[in-house]
Amino acid sequence: AAGCGFVGSKCISSGNVPDYSLDYFCSTVDPPGTRSGCDYLHQNKAGCDLEMDINPPETYMYFTDDPSFGSAYSDVDYCPMKTKYLQSCTGRSKSVTALAGETYGESSKCYETDAGIPVCLDTVCNAESKTLSFSVRGSLFHCSYHGQVINVESGYSIKCPRIAAVCPGLVCPSNCSGKGICDYCKEIPECICDNPFDETDGCWES
């Protein structure tokens, strides 16, 4: 899960993206115009904003072999994120290189693949099971957890994103109604209600 490590630890460790930072931060210098993955909300195809010769303050030097590397943005502690060359999955314009079954539209989200480029796919959030589903060429596939790899039988495989990022409405609804706290240390964050007998998703009975 992103959870506690994400809040209390460095975004990059020894030049690598630790498990708790996956899908939020990146560690590659992408060629100009390259979209190697998705932004953290999975709404856009995006490239990593890691750059050379940034020379961040010593506290924010995450790359021991190349201490000058970093993001240009001090408000995120110089942590590199996929924010460059954004291309919306909801827009109508298609990228030059598109994978089979790609779909742009209001309900499309960005997914990373083993093909080296991301893909936009029609997506549905499943409230009852707290999972998400996406379709490729008319076939429906289901993501149950972050990092799950699914072969979509169209020449590539999908790496499932964090469900909390793609479907935030499934996570601690109504901000736990102000009657509890959201436990972000879990794979899919959920409310811990002030009333220990309240087992509703949003602490609606507290």
Question: According to DSSP H, which parts of 25-119 are helical?
Answer: none
Residue 6 predicted with pLDDT over 70: no
Contact 147, 22 (CB under 8 A): yes
Q: pLDDT tens across 30-75, in order?
A: 898 889 999 999 999 999 999 999 999 999 999 988 899 999 999 9
Please name every residue paired with 151 in a beta bridge, in sequence order, or none if there are none: 157
CB proximity list for 197: less than 8 A, separation 6 or greater: none
Q: How many CB atoms lie within 10 A of CB 4?
A: 13
Q: pLDDT tens across 94-146, in order?
A: 555 589 999 999 999 999 999 999 999 999 999 888 899 999 999 999 999 88
Tokens found for residue 62: 């995450």
User: Residue range 15-28: average pLDDT?
Assistant: 86
Q: pLDDT tens across 62-72, in order?
A: 998 889 999 99
- For the ranges 12-16, 55-59, 194-198, the lowest mean pLDDT is seen at 12-16
Give the pTM.
0.82
